[in-house]
Structure 1
Amino acid sequence: MKTQIVQVASITPPKPVLKWAGGKQQMLDILLPNAPKKYNKYIEPFFGGGALFFALLPEKAIIADSNPEIINLYRCLSENVEDVISILKTMPYSKEDYYEIRATNPDTLTPMQQAARTIYLNKTCFNGLYRVNKKGQFNVPFGKQKNPNYCDEQNLRAASEALKNAEIVLGDYKDVLGRYAELGDLIFLDPPYLPISEYADFKRYTKEQFYEEDHHELAQEVKRLHELGCHVLLTNSNHPLVYELYDEFKISVYPTRRSINSKGSKRKGEDVLVKVEPKKQIFVVPEKIQLSPQVSLYPSTRYMGSKQNLLEYILGVAEQFKFETVLDLFSGSGVVSYLFKAHNKQVISNDYMAFSACITKALVENNNTTLNERDLAILLDTNVLTDNLVSETFKGLYFEDEDNQFIDIIRTNLSRLRDQYKRALAQASLVRACLKKRPRGIFTYTGYRYDDGRRDLTLSLKEQFLEAVEQMNLAVFDNGKANKSRHGDAMECKQKADLVYMDPPYFSPLSDNEYVRRYHFVEGLVRDWKGVEMQWHTKTKKFKSYPTPFSSRNGAYEAFDILFKRYKDSILIVSYSSNSLPTKDEMIGLMTKYKENVEVVAVDHRYSFGNQGHKVEDNNNLVKEYLFVGY
């Protein structure tokens, strides 16, 4: 089944076309917050006035009713609203005109004329009711309104646009739900209310009555939809039978006003909302999701494997679940941690690379601190005695002498900043300056043989640093959560969270995954080259890489098994590549040992998504990014 995120159409939300006895316009402030943010399609089989449909404006919908006059009306509005408007404009309003139009046999009219007559009678009769005599003829009396607006052209056109996204069906609710309801759909049920004696004749704009046994059948259908994996919202009166039929679901009571009783004292009532969550967790393949504007302030990096271009889809997957805390176990560039912080989650960020942990210390854990002019004056103070570690060790390798000397000055002055977040911001800014100043942003080679003349390479390291400080300061914000940056081995991390995101080093026989080899210089910079084993014989003056289980196939397999078991009670989202090992099928096998549901979202180099295997494999791209989702 192809799924989608339902998006709101870019039209003005219309009001219901019909005045509706028992309509849900007055309950929209209750219904809308209870509707899920994401669903596959919207189905309303007791459509009537369609207040919720017109408020939601779903991109895909099935709307149905058993009354052919109602269905004819909505089909005509969808297909040719201008004809309906033209006919309504010719229809005069008076008591005599009303009874003459009411007496007209609908079978003698065209579909458009029937649609106009339905609107006219609804807007000009008493309280918008529907009642027929034994011959099936409409017999509601004249409403005595002074100036009824039965031809609201703007609203009719807006309704027409909304209806174009719906399949309009004439039929019994059970037939409609049996034919159309699928996993992930949102079903809104507004049946004739209980008690039967009060509402059977006129609760709905329908010629058919709804008895107590019908409510029992409806309850069985709701339970079927629950098992199927649908979201269901059901309204009814505050009647004991409702509690009996839906006792396993959430029931809320709300005061409402009835418009169907001539006595004002009897117009007050209580409606209930039955909210049914799907029994099966629904997974919707993300196509696009709007990010918080705060995310765009994150300073870009040239970090290998950064998920900067996948953020909309990572968030699209994550937001399908209820969670408050996130553990980003292999934070890397830190952009995913920052993403979740920007979307008001409490974030625990972890990485075995010190420079990665430094970045998240500055921008994820830090909520308020920035570097000011006084701090910069301290950092840029040249009247200090440096150890010349960078100037001497890396002379002629990566940067000019002046740039190396600048790094040594910043290193020396860092200890003069007493605040831990100021130091983290300064170090993170220096790391970013070094990465941007290097062609390709890595330290696996010496010299400037990849110099392409871009601006980043023409700036001095000091200029890069000052620009980085400005961007880092702009990116600092407080999401009101106690976020944490951890520097340590993921395999030893014991932190817990509702959702765990993993973007580990990818093991592949085609390439290495040694982040230390690529970033040894900035890693050493943050560590101040303490606690590392320098390999002085190498041209790049790198230090020995940290041990990681992800450097071999067996090690990666065992590591994933350990991590999946450790976080079996959390929602899991794992980024991995199609040319890496374990394979996709092996990863699914590993995850299904600990998670009941596993989904795979594949991303090609154009970042388009699909979770259906045949569509993934038919894609001509050689390498894809996978998001494995376990829940």
Structure 2
Amino acid sequence: MEKVRPAAPVAPWLGGKKALSAEIVKRIEAIDHTTYAEPFVGMGGVFFRRSWKPKLEVANDLNGEITNLFRIIQQHLPQLLEVMKYQIASRREFERLREAQPSTLTDLQRAARFLYLQRLSFGGQVRGVFGVSPDTAPRFQLSRLEPLLDAAHERLENVVFENLDWCELIRRYDKSGTLFYLDPPYWGGENDYGKGMFDRSQFAAMAHELQKLQGKFILSINDRPEIRELFDGFHFQEVKLKYSVSKQGSTEAAELLISNYEPRVSLL
């Protein structure tokens, strides 16, 4: 394991794990592993905040816009900054880019578009609205964004990017020294990240796949009776949190950390 400098996610993301990341990272760093893989990396709310790097790191997401953005940050950061150099926080520009078809853009333009929309959308939601507050500065400011991108660029060195279904990712990288962190859509929010990308039947398939795992896993999910029944036999840790995505204010939520091993205190 190599000590590395943690970074921050480059944009908000629905279910980004800001409130829960410290607890998850503590559990990750208590496990000896040579490969670390995230089947649902999103904006890297946990991936970037880790302090230790194993021999191999794999960041996967079925959303191709995410993997394209990370690849561009890793390999073409100066060019990405140049593309965004004169971009402004504008409702009209936000709506124009939201309607643009990514397939008509270059990879650099796609990455800049996706980052712009995620920085300015309310709550980091994929199909969100223009999220500007009457009393705070907009989240898209290149002077503040550039240091975040620099840190992400450094942290993404030698990371392998995949654009696979979660099940295929697990089967490709599972071995005794692999640790998987899974952050799937929550029960009841299966379509939050795009229609058809994940459905409720996949929770049962996931529980079955994880039963066969050679390596170790940590799964974060909302605490529901259906989840407890499907993942019965694994270790459960209950966590209480407050979320403030709703415009009406914060709401309390019960979460579960599920694993196939007995948690212990970090040795790192």
Structure 2 counterpart of 1:67, one-letter code: N
User: Matched residue of 2:150: which SS?
Assistant: helix
Amino acid at match of 1:19: P
Letter in 1 for 2:247: S
Structure 2 equivalent of residue 217 of structure 1: 205
Change (3 A) 1:207 1:110: farther
User: For residue 216 of structure 2, what is the aligned residue in structure 1?
Assistant: 231
1:207, distance to aligned residue in structure 2 (A): 4.8
C-alpha distance in 2 between matches for 1:159 and 1:110:
21
Mapped contact 2:38–2:58 kept (Cα < 8 A): yes
Equivalent of 1:68, from 60, 64, 68?
A: 64
Structure 2 gap ranges (5+): none
1:200 aligns with 2:152: no
Between Structure 1 and Structure 2, the one with more helix by share is 1
Matched, 1:250 2:235: yes
Q: Is the 8 A contact 2:80 2:112 kept in 1?
A: yes
Cα distance between partner residues in 1 of 2:123 and 2:11: 11
| 2:157 alignment partner, one of 151, 164, 173 | 164
* Deviation readout 1:366-399 (Å, 9 max, x if unpaired): xxxxxxxxxxxxxxxxxxxxxxxxxxxxxxxxxx
- Provide closer, same or farther for how the CA distance between residues 248 and 21 of structure 1 changes in structure 2, counting only shifts above 3 A: same
Supply the distance in 2 between the matched residues of 1:65 and 1:90 (Cα, whole angstroms).
29
Structure with greater contact order relative to length (CA < 8 Å, sep ≥ 6): 2
The offset of 1:45, in angstroms, is: 0.6
Q: Determine what percentage of the aligned residue pairs are the same residue.
A: 29
Equivalent residue, structure 1, for 2:148: 155
Q: Which residue of structure 2 lines up, in the alignment, with residue 184 of structure 1?
A: 177
Partner of 1:44: 38
Determine if the alignment matches structure 1 residue 55 to structure 2 residue 49: yes
Q: 2:98: which partner in 1? A: 102
1:7 aligns with 2:18: no
Correspondence list, 1:304-343, <5 A = none
One-letter code aligned to 1:102: R
Distance across 1 between alignment mates of 2:252 and 2:172:
37
> Could you tell me how far apart the structure 2 residues matched to 1:66 and 1:111 are?
17
1:92 aligns with 2:88: yes
Deviations 1:242-295 (A, max 9, x none): 211222121111112334433326x321111012229xxxxxxxxxxxxxxxxx
Counterpart residue type for residue 177 of structure 2: G
Q: Which amino acid aligns with 2:98?
A: R
Structure 2 counterpart SS, 1:174: helix
* 1:400 corresponding residue in structure 2: none
Where do 5+ consecutive residues of structure 1 fail to align? 1-5, 132-139, 279-321, 323-342, 344-631
Specify the alignment match of 2:132 in structure 1. Answer: 144
Letter in 2 for 1:273: L
Give distance in 1, aligned partners of 2:196 and 2:84: 27
**Matched letter for residue 261 of structure 2:** E
Contact 1:67 1:207 in 2 (8 A): no
**Number of residues of Structure 1 aligned to a counterpart in Structure 2:** 256
Identify if the C-alpha distance between structure 1 residues 45 and 83 changes in structure 2 by more than 3 Å, giving closer, same or farther: same
Shift of 1:221: 1.3
The amino acid across from 2:256 in the alignment is: V
CA distance in 2, matches of 1:37, 1:174: 22
8 A contact 2:3–2:53 mirrored in 1:
yes
Q: CA deviation at 1:224?
A: 1.4
CA distance in 1, matches of 2:98, 2:198: 25
Q: Which amino acid aligns with 1:275?
A: S
Contact 2:132 2:138 survives alignment (8 Å): no
Describe the SS at the equivalent of 1:66. coil
- In structure 2, the residue matched to 1:515 is none
Counterpart residue number, 1:77? 73
| One-letter code aligned to 1:55 | R
SS in 2 for 1:25: coil
Post-superposition shift, 1:52? Answer: 1.5
18-27 vs 140-149, greater mean Cα deviation: 140-149
1:126 to 122, 125, 144: 122
Does the 8 Å contact 2:10/2:43 carry over to 1?
yes
Change in CA separation of 1:41 and 1:87 when aligned onto 2, cut-off 3 Å: same
Q: What are the residue-to-residue correspondences of 1:393-404 with 2, within 5 Å?
A: none
C-alpha separation between the residues in 1 aligned to 2:32 and 2:84? 38
User: Structure 1 143/75 Cα, relative in aligned 2: closer, same or farther at 3 Å?
Assistant: same
Per-residue deviation at 1:209? 4.2
Q: Give the match for residue 274 of structure 1.
A: 258
Match of 1:29 in 2: 22
Deviation of the 1:109 alpha carbon:
1.6
| Displacement after TM superposition at 1:193 (Å) | 0.6
How far apart are residue 33 of structure 1 and its match?
2.1
Residue deviations 1:515-568, cap 9 Å, x none? xxxxxxxxxxxxxxxxxxxxxxxxxxxxxxxxxxxxxxxxxxxxxxxxxxxxxx
CA distance in 2, matches of 1:82, 1:257: 38
Q: Which structure dedicates a bigger proportion of its chain to strand?
A: 2
Shift of 1:81: 1.3
SS of the residue aligned with 2:87?
coil
After superposition, the C-alpha distances for 1:80-105 in whole angstroms (9 at most, x for unaligned) are: 11211222222121212221222222
SS in 2 for 1:255: strand
Report if aligned partners of 2:190, 2:200 keep a CA contact under 8 Å in 1.
no
Give the whole-Å Cα distance in 2 for the aligned partners of 1:163 and 1:94: 30
| 2-structure distance, mates of 1:144, 1:264 | 16
SS at match of 1:26: coil
Secondary structure of the residue aligned to 2:176 is coil
Q: Which amino acid aligns with 2:146?
A: E
